[in-house]
Structure 1
């Protein structure tokens, strides 16, 4: 402590409790097919080189995508439209890797292995991949115990029969680290001047990013307009959606003159042991990753009460901000979350093992999926 010799006012700087910042939630990771048939021309008059197969490339605009993977073209149709739809619907950054065949599990797994090393990826999609083994690989990638910081968006099968078996095909997963969307979406293809059908996953990744930016990851990415959509491959009725919604199949529908996302469930919606809603799972991913990265200061610190208090203050301050943003339920912070890091969670045997145990509980806000108005008829309006 400083020694003061003369009267006066002294200002001291004290170390602050390390703060936890929220991680990004809207960076996409796309796997798709591109043969580089229509590459734009560089300033020197030669075509830009096609990106190497299996190598992820960071892309921040569709113009940049074209320089690496080519313009709208038959050999690039699905991937180009999906990435364009991502940016058009609100996405800002994504990583793209090309493969020769989306049904080749080895090629897709090779890309996913490289995606695992890119920490900022939070949304993963392989637009047009309908093989159940490939879709399962996307899910397993996101649910991997070494990651659990990303979410898979899958495309439903191209069918006109609205049943779980038809839309899911051979996929049997009930993971809450993925969501599936139906049907395909109609867009205008600049290369041919005609309308074509594309898988919804790329557009949905953009909608996830848009909602994250405007409202937050805790807001369900539903009741949102699909920008660029001119129609749908199939017009699902309310009754038909009622058949598949409980199984976690999210339907895109034409409602009130607009094409809207009309579902917000994970594939685990029918499993009571899983998280039902997309926004709740993605919020939990966000909290886990943010707290993980924000508490790295604790590594190798003396494992005692001062450290436990510092961790508690940091995590509490972070969760209080999350609660104020509307992501947690409760009128007071005490109703929304709790943080416990003390001698009860860190007994001698835990400390001897070099571990610090922090117990955290949160109450996420779930979406108002069913809004019910109860209307009664009175012969006379009550006065009180």
Structure 2
């Protein structure tokens, strides 16, 4: 618009297009056998080797492949790279983690030997208790049968001294104190009555009820009555005066409530003791940190206490209704030590109990030992649930507690400190197993049931970019990996497949092409050969060789992540070839030197199997092909680059959902996508750095006809000019004939 005369003008600003996040944070999903960790179908996020070892353990015969894969991941991608780990154990029902065959080790700690113990029951709720008048505890003890303790309580009341009607006057008052509180003044206004000079009992009660706090008023025996809201002996109504009392004639002074409790809505521990001991012979009630323990006055196996289910107050106290017998002289079981996770590692765990460092008799120190060496120390614990040093509060949390064990309080009936575990060293834990007997491909493939998920399906709710399953290079599992990534994860997860152990080039070709039928199966996935060597991390476990052989998928995943994060759109780069960015830095060798022979590579590379080879002093990845060379995206960089764009668009265009499909709707989608694609183009992700040659994006009316909009659909189309890797570098060598050619040309011209 041209500026002419001075004015205030309103112009609509074009809306800014939301931007799509182009940053890269490659996430690994890893499934396999671990020394410990959850077996309930859930996974855990880990970002470093210490985090991994805290949750999943270390180097064992069975966990080698998984542990090595994660070490390779962080060695190549860097500490802090995100991984989600799922543990595999055998289940008797596919997809049902509750049918796992792995188990936790256990150990029970006892108290010191003591005298005979009385039967007793402890409330689950602490005082005070919100009861009702007439509530009961029906208690059976020893051979004495049942007796009933009943709570009684009535509210304080005070009634007018004469019958109505009452000749009140406007602004007359009465002064009332409720439950010993401050005096309250009730003022009678003429507007509150039909005729204040002949006020009825009902009218007087209504005015008092509306203005008193902590009390009600009603009509009793034709007279207005004031009644405290509180029921019990601390309830009180005291009419102390006022100009209207000459007419109403309330008796002055306090009128108390009655009962065997001061306030039935807040019954104290002392009141419980008095009521129960008065009504039920042969028992004693003690207050343990606010909780009520009812104990028989006898001891030994014949001693017992039971709160009967016909009680009406047992739910407020949270007493159970089972019989609690006493014990003969001797020790009681007091704490059970459970392995935190299922696994045979529990057989290496012992525990030690010593006197508390702080010198308090009702505290103790607790140590966890592995193979006889202390690995965890917890000082000054107790068995008081309300204490901040309660042993279960300190040891049991997964994030901050013990790496190896959790505790179960068995609620020994001996009073503290007699209920503490006896000092000494105990164990090892028994009964723990890894659940690997009968382990099959089905346990890795997993499934979904009403009871949860197992195998690959445990990753369903986890965001991820790369999937590896180290230690299970079988046809069934690797086909399941491809299917999971392609179907369940809608093509947005990329599996790196490991070669089976010990295969020659010819055997690898047979496995890949015939046995597993992976050749030309899908663009989702890549295969490498051979397996790799790393420094032996535990010679006590793996023998004295300097190196051990492990699957390469973790190392390769780390290289993928490193290349991804090397620039915006790094996923379009092929994670192969020479150069520090692309080559593995954490391996010491390969399983077979056959890969160094060109004949072996000539056999496998045309089959889309990428060799891990060596030229000079460095190992390198000699190929970036996906399983299927005849698809749209035949290389790792192309396929994963397209996946990167797809994932970013899927989240970046969510702002369009449920918006009206008017022209501005399509314009916003075009702006947002174009800005993102231009950024990738400038970062050299495509065949050209000119947007018009790098990609095409259509979100126009040709794709979005009225019939399409009628279906509530908005269709766009993105075509990308990706680039293939240079696999064959050809140099033509011949003689330099320029001088001869010039001489011949001169002769011909002369």
Name the residue aligned to 1:63.
Answer: 50
Deviation at 1:158, TM superposition (A): 2.3
Confirm whether residue 374 of structure 1 aligns to residue 732 of structure 2.
yes
Confirm whether residue 32 of structure 1 aligns to residue 32 of structure 2.
yes
Q: CA RMSD in A?
A: 2.5
SS of equivalent to 1:73 = coil
Query: Structure 2 unaligned runs (5+)?
Result: 1-5, 90-435, 447-453, 743-750
Name the residue aligned to 1:242.
Answer: 602
Cα deviations by residue, 1:37-57 (Å, 9 ceiling, x for unpaired): xxxxxxxxxxxxx33353211
Matches within 5 A, 1:108-147: 108-109=445-446, 110-119=454-463, 121-144=464-487, 146-147=489-490
2:573 to 203, 219, 231: 219
Rounded to whole Å, the distance in 1 between the matches of 2:444 and 2:713 is 39
Distance 1:342 1:160, change over 3 A: closer
Distance 1:375 1:135, change over 3 A: same
The more displaced of 200-209 and 367-376 is 367-376
Asked whether the equivalents of residues 24 and 122 of structure 1 are also in contact (C-alpha less than 8 Å), the reply is no
1:171 to 516, 525, 544: 516
Cα deviations by residue, 1:263-318 (Å, 9 ceiling, x for unpaired): 1000102xx23531011000111111111111111111111221111111111111
Confirm whether residue 96 of structure 1 aligns to residue 456 of structure 2.
no
- Asked which structure has the greater CA Rg, the reply is 2
Asked whether the equivalents of residues 20 and 294 of structure 1 are also in contact (C-alpha less than 8 Å), the reply is yes
Deviation at 1:375, TM superposition (A): 2.9
The more displaced of 58-67 and 102-111 is 102-111
Name the residue aligned to 1:300.
Answer: 658
Rounded to whole Å, the distance in 1 between the matches of 2:24 and 2:60 is 32
SS of equivalent to 1:254 = strand
Cα deviations by residue, 1:143-180 (Å, 9 ceiling, x for unpaired): 11653111000011224421311456621131110001
Deviation at 1:200, TM superposition (A): 0.6
Query: Structure 1 unaligned runs (5+)?
Result: 1-5, 37-49
Matches within 5 A, 1:156-305: 156-163=499-506, 164-166=509-511, 170-173=515-518, 174-192=521-539, 194=545, 195-215=547-567, 216-223=570-577, 224-235=582-593, 236=595, 237-269=597-629, 272-305=630-663
Misfit runs of 4+, over 6 Å: 6-14
Deviation at 1:184, TM superposition (A): 1.0
Name the residue aligned to 2:197.
Answer: none
The more displaced of 157-166 and 301-310 is 157-166
Asked whether the equivalents of residues 212 and 219 of structure 1 are also in contact (C-alpha less than 8 Å), the reply is yes
The more displaced of 108-117 and 172-181 is 108-117
Cα deviations by residue, 1:205-264 (Å, 9 ceiling, x for unpaired): 111111111241111010132222111111211221112112110110121111111110
Larger helix percent: 1
- Kindly tell me the number of residue pairs found equivalent between the two proteins: 363
Q: TM-score, normalised by structure 2?
A: 0.46
SS of equivalent to 2:496 = strand
Name the residue aligned to 1:86.
Answer: 73
Asked whether the equivalents of residues 53 and 98 of structure 1 are also in contact (C-alpha less than 8 Å), the reply is no
Cα deviations by residue, 1:55-90 (Å, 9 ceiling, x for unpaired): 211010011000001122223211111100110011
Rounded to whole Å, the distance in 1 between the matches of 2:600 and 2:564 is 29
SS of equivalent to 1:54 = coil
Name the residue aligned to 1:44.
Answer: none
Asked whether the equivalents of residues 350 and 356 of structure 1 are also in contact (C-alpha less than 8 Å), the reply is yes
Rounded to whole Å, the distance in 2 between the matches of 1:286 and 1:116 is 19
The more displaced of 129-138 and 185-194 is 185-194
SS of equivalent to 2:490 = coil
Rounded to whole Å, the distance in 2 between the matches of 1:317 and 1:56 is 36
Rounded to whole Å, the distance in 1 between the matches of 2:732 and 2:683 is 30
Distance 1:146 1:131, change over 3 A: closer
SS of equivalent to 1:351 = helix
Rounded to whole Å, the distance in 2 between the matches of 1:197 and 1:107 is 22
Q: TM-score, normalised by structure 1?
A: 0.88
Rounded to whole Å, the distance in 1 between the matches of 2:28 and 2:51 is 15
SS of equivalent to 1:152 = strand
